[in-house]
Each structure stands twice: as C-alpha cells, then as structure tokens.
Amino acid sequence: MANAQRVLVVDDDKDLREALVEQLSLYDEFEVVAVDSAQGAINEVESQRVDLVLMDVGLPDKDGREAVRIMRQGGFKAPVIMLTGHDTDSDTIMGLEAGANDYVAKPFRFAVLLARIRAQMRSHEASEDAVFTIGPYTFRPGAKMLVTERNSKIRLTEKETAILRYLYRAGKKPVAREILLQEVWGYNSGVTTHTLETHIYRLRQKIEKDPSHPNLLATEAGGYKLLP
C-alpha cells in the first residue's frame, strides 16, 4: 500500500522476529523490515525512513535501551516500543528514560501489540514531530502546515489538515465523499457533501499551481485521492 507505515522489528530471536514480520505484513497499513542487532537498527533509522520501532531489550551486541538512546541523540523522533522478558517497574522506567514510548512484556498477545502500535502511531501523527511528504510539500499535521521546497509555509485549517492526513493514509485508493465526511466531521455532524467540496476547493487553491487542473488532489470515482 502506498504511504504504508514503515515498521522496524529488532529482535535476535529468529522465530519471534519472523512471526512479527509475518503477522504485521498481513495489514496493508504496514511495510515491515527486520534486523537482529542494535547496530543494525541504528543503521536502519539513519539511512531509511522508519515510522515505528519494535525494539527488543536483550540484543547480542548492545542493550536495546542504549540503542534507543543513541537513536534519539541522532534525531530519531518516531515511536519506539520496547519488547522485554522482564516485567518490573525499574526495567520499564529505564526503557522510558532511554527514550522509548511504550513497554510490552513478553509473552504478549499480538492483538495487544497491534493496538499499542496503532495507538503510538496515532499519537505521533498528531504531534509536532510528525512529517510526511505530499508532492512537493512537507506536511506537518501537528502544526497544521505545508512547507514548500523553498521553505515557505502554507497554513492549513484543522479540517484541511484532517482531509490531507486521511487521503495520505489511503494511498492510491480514492476515498468516497461520504467516508471523508464521516472521518473528518463525524457520523452525526449533519454536514453535507457541499461542505466537503468547499473545503476541497479551498485546499486546491492553497496547494495546486492551477486549481482548475489539479495534479495533486484529484477527484475520482465519487471521491478524492492524492496523486503520486
């Protein structure tokens, strides 16, 4: 899926690592990569986009918490969930102080881990640190802003931000008007498609070079989509 969230699995337990990759890969919202060492994780976040890390504590070359500390010092801001066989308060505190966002003790149920992953990603998307690329723009939903290649800032309203964020996550799939209304305004808002179309029109005025011939925000199949 286009715009899938890139999850890095870091664990030296081959069976667990492969199981996590297999289960997460069943969901189109994720693109999953895996490494078996702390240094491999550090190298990955330095060289590739990573949207969330599942980090084992007990790695062969370095404590996972130390790896997280190094990653944070290097500027990595995406969520990190620690995986550990030790379920004590002191262990959790050490991980959180190293820069982890959450702590999950082994053994765990995959459904619980999946819920934690999604919760952390939702939280991150709403933060000032979240950054996405939409066409020639850098999209910062937490700041309600698009930044051009020349570092000019385009301010967005709350609804415009929500529309762009939902369309971005949908990837190449058009999103029906009714779905956008439900997701952005809520099921019982009472707004009409005219309200949505007005927001789309204003959004195109901000992001398209020629709003009458959009090449970024397209109308398709009774809905809207972002073009690659």
**pLDDT of amino acid 26:** 95
**pLDDT of amino acid 80:** 96
CATH node for 132-226: 1.10.10.10
For the chain, give the mean pLDDT. 89
Q: Is the pLDDT of residue 43 over 70?
A: yes
- For the entire predicted model, the pTM comes to 0.68
Q: Is the pLDDT of residue 168 over 90?
A: no
Digit-coded pLDDT (tens) for 5-41: 899 999 999 999 999 999 999 998 899 999 999 999 9
**pLDDT of amino acid 152:** 93
Residue 161: band (very low, low, confident or very high) from pLDDT cuts 50, 70, 90: very high
Contact call for residues 165 and 141 (beta carbons, < 8 A)? yes
Q: Is the pLDDT of residue 53 over 90?
A: yes
Q: Is the pLDDT of residue 151 over 60?
A: yes
Residue 126, Cα to own-chain centre: how many angstroms?
A: 10
Burial of 187 from C-beta contacts in 10 A (0-12 / 13-18 / 19+): exposed
Across residues 188-197, what is the average pLDDT?
82
217: helix, coil or strand? strand
Per the structure block, which two tokens stand in for 190? 């009472």
Interatomic CA distance for residues 179 and 13, integer angstroms = 41
Residue 208, Cα to own-chain centre: how many angstroms?
A: 25
Contact call for residues 86 and 43 (beta carbons, < 8 A)? no
**pLDDT of amino acid 187:** 64
Digit-coded pLDDT (tens) for 81-140: 999 886 666 677 777 888 899 999 888 999 999 999 999 988 887 777 788 888 899 898
- On the question of a common fold for 5-129 and 132-226, the answer reads no
**pLDDT of amino acid 112:** 94
**pLDDT of amino acid 87:** 65
- As beta bridge partners, residue 110 has none
135: helix, coil or strand? coil
Of residues 2 and 32, more confidently modeled:
32
**pLDDT of amino acid 1:** 46
Where do the structural domains in the chain lie, given as residue ranges?
5-129, 132-226
% of the chain surpassing 70 pLDDT: 94
Determine the topology of domain 5-129 in CATH: Rossmann fold (3.40.50)
Residue 181, Cα to own-chain centre: how many angstroms?
A: 22
